[in-house]
Amino acid sequence: MTVFFQSLVNALQWGSFYALIALGYSMVYGVLMLFNFAHGDVFMVGAYISFIVATALTALAAAGTIAIPGWVVLLLTIVCAMMLNAIVGIIIERVGYRPLREAPRASAAITGLMIGIILETGVLAIMGAQRAKFPSLIQSVTYDVGGVFITNKKIMIVLVSIVLMLALDQFVKKTKWGMAMRAMAFDYTVVPLMGVPANVIAALTFAIGSGLAASAGCLFGVAYPVLDPYMGIVFGWKAFVAAILGGRGSILGATLAGFLLGFIEIFVALIFPSTMRDFIAYSIILLILTFRPHGFFGEPHSARLRL
């Protein structure tokens, strides 16, 4: 039983990463009918931006006379990284995807792959081949809850993720910007007729998705402090799976599917040798998709919409 709960805790942490990345995938897909295949690398860039911001802030705090508590630095890092990565997302939309609005969807997909390669090699060129070591911002504290070990970092990661997801949910449901995003997901062509600048909504969607990816990148760096320029690839594919599994553009779906992925992976690894983890985990997901081809919350939607 303690093994079960221990795994549950770990699964929640992994699920948070997947869900945060999957949300960006899903939103861009929902609003713009576009798979941003560079999204895993956007997560990676977010992790590196967090690394740079965290390193700078730590140095600043060390140089200053007043001590800034670690968790304040962490919060500042998350906020800065999200904003900076949002700008990265806006640039990707503007330079990479907007010129392809009228192009076949395959061109956009290939553009995504190319943007991904550019981001990977760009980070490699700027940061060098050695892995980046994420500064330790908060002291790790482990709590023993009836034999289950929970660290303060894991609690923080899951809490921050949930707060961000709830904030996103409220934004999309309650604000006029969120309303415009939902309208765009339904029928792209009519949105400008309402006086809504569709380009701004497209940019906003990318900004939010990239910001969430940066938060995942920062949280990942806190949990696993070693970064490399190719870390986003596998995460990207898995988050893509979660986005599809959740259903087109569904925030709740992407969140749940992200956590489900975390659970399946961790629990498969509990039973089977770790070399077989993804093989079995993704076979299970493939099976789920055969029964629910539109994912959990996706409606069989005609593909009349275009970016």
Partner 1 sequence: MLLKVENLSVSYGRIPALTGLDFHIDEGEIVSIIGANGAGKSTTLRAISRMVKVEPGSKMTFMDKDLLKYPPDKVVSQLGITHVPEGRGIFGNLTVKENLHLSAFARKDAAEVKKDISRVFDIFPRLKERYTQKSGTLSGGEQQMLAIGRAFISGRKIMLLDEPSMGLAPLLMQNVFKALKEINKEGAAILLVEQNARLALQFASRAYVLETGSLVMEGDSKKLLEDPEVKKAYLGG
Please, which residue, 89 or 178, has the CB nearer to partner 1?
Answer: 178
| Rounded (10°) CA dihedral 41, 93, 168, 244 | -60
In this structure, what are the phi and psi dihedrals at residue 150, rounded to the nearest 5 degrees? -120, 130
- The half-sphere exposure of 274 on its side-chain side, counting CA atoms within 13 A, is 1
Question: Alpha helix locations (H) across 92-174?
Answer: 105-127, 152-174
- Interaction of residue 294 with partner 1, rule CB under 8 A: no
Window of 129-137, 196-204, 212-220, 259-267 that interacts with partner 1 by CB under 8 A = 196-204
Residue 296 near residue 247 (C-beta atoms within 8 A):
yes
Among 69, 99, 104, 192, binds partner 1 (CB under 8 A): 192
Q: What is the dihedral sign for C-alpha 286, 289, 295, 301?
A: positive
Among 198, 202, 231, 242, binds partner 1 (CB under 8 A): 198
- Interaction of residue 303 with partner 1, rule CB under 8 A: no
* Residue 70, token pair as written in the block: 């670690």
Among 194, 271, 287, 303, binds partner 1 (CB under 8 A): 194
Among 193, 271, 287, 303, binds partner 1 (CB under 8 A): 193
Residue 269 near residue 245 (C-beta atoms within 8 A):
no
Q: What is the dihedral sign for C-alpha 220, 222, 226, 229?
A: positive
CA–CA gap between residue 270 and residue 272 (Å, rounded): 6
Residue 201 Cβ, how far from partner 1 at the closest point, in Å? 10
Pick the closest to residue 220 from 7, 16, 6, 8 (CA basis): 16
Residue 46 near residue 217 (C-beta atoms within 8 A):
yes
Q: Which of residues 75-94 bind partner 1 (CB under 8 A)?
A: none
Among 98, 101, 105, 182, binds partner 1 (CB under 8 A): 182
- Interaction of residue 304 with partner 1, rule CB under 8 A: no
Residue 32 Cβ, how far from partner 1 at the closest point, in Å? 16
- Interaction of residue 167 with partner 1, rule CB under 8 A: no
Please, which residue, 140 or 175, has the CB nearer to partner 1?
Answer: 175
- Interaction of residue 99 with partner 1, rule CB under 8 A: no
Window of 66-74, 78-86, 164-172, 193-201 that interacts with partner 1 by CB under 8 A = 193-201
CA–CA gap between residue 211 and residue 33 (Å, rounded): 19
Among 2, 121, 187, 226, binds partner 1 (CB under 8 A): 187
- Interaction of residue 189 with partner 1, rule CB under 8 A: yes
Q: Is 230 left (phi over 0), alpha (psi -120 to 50) or beta?
A: alpha
Among 176, 275, 287, 290, binds partner 1 (CB under 8 A): 176
- Interaction of residue 128 with partner 1, rule CB under 8 A: no
Residue 131 Cβ, how far from partner 1 at the closest point, in Å? 45
- Interaction of residue 197 with partner 1, rule CB under 8 A: yes
Interacting residue ranges for partner 1, rule: CB under 8 A: 176, 179-180, 182-183, 185-187, 189-190, 192-198
